[in-house]
């Protein structure tokens, strides 16, 4: 009886895996597979595996690329929050609503300015005979 219990305990021990999973989009997987097919199109040598491909890609990572990835991950709402925080640091604390109002006013002013410039350009073209 004791031998059966000992045998069960030995077989139930788990070995920790040295690998894991990462979710990738189908397009990314296709790109990796396509690159690996090109890389492995050779007469000699072992097959290059996806892990080696990814390690090589990661090794090119630097602070500039990390910052670019961080910036690209921001939603428009996140970008507005960053602008708000920067504005508050430089000009003093205001509410987020006040900041949004000021942003809207600045956009309207820029839009009106652009429309005025377009009318001036159209008037200039008409005065000069369409040249």
Residue 88 has a pLDDT of: 95
Q: pLDDT tier at 13 (50, 70, 90 boundaries)?
A: low
Of the candidates 89, 117, 83, which has an alpha carbon nearest to the alpha carbon of residue 102?
83
Listed by start position, the domains of the chain span 23-73, 76-127
Residue showing tokens 């200039």:
124
CA–CA separation, 111 vs 109, rounded Å? 5
Token pair for 86: 């920067």
Q: Which of 6-15, 38-47, 65-74, 95-104 has the highest mean pLDDT?
A: 95-104
Average the pLDDT over 9-32 and give the result: 82
Residue 32 in contact with residue 53, Cβ under 8 Å? yes
């Amino acid at each position: 009886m004791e031998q059966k219990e000992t045998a069960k305990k030995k077989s139930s021990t788990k070995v920790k895996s040295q690998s894991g999973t990462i979710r990738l989009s189908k397009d990314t997987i296709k790109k990796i597979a396509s690159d690996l097919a090109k890389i492995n199109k050779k007469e000699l040598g072992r097959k290059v595996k996806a892990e080696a491909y990814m390690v090589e890609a990661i090794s090119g990572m630097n602070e500039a690329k990390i910052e670019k990835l961080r910036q690209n991950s921001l939603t428009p709402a996140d970008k507005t929050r960053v602008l708000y925080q920067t504005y508050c640091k430089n000009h003093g604390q205001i509410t987020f609503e006040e900041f949004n109002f000021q942003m809207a006013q600045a956009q309207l002013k820029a839009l009106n300015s652009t429309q005025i410039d377009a009318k001036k350009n159209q008037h200039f073209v008409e005065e000069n005979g369409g040249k």
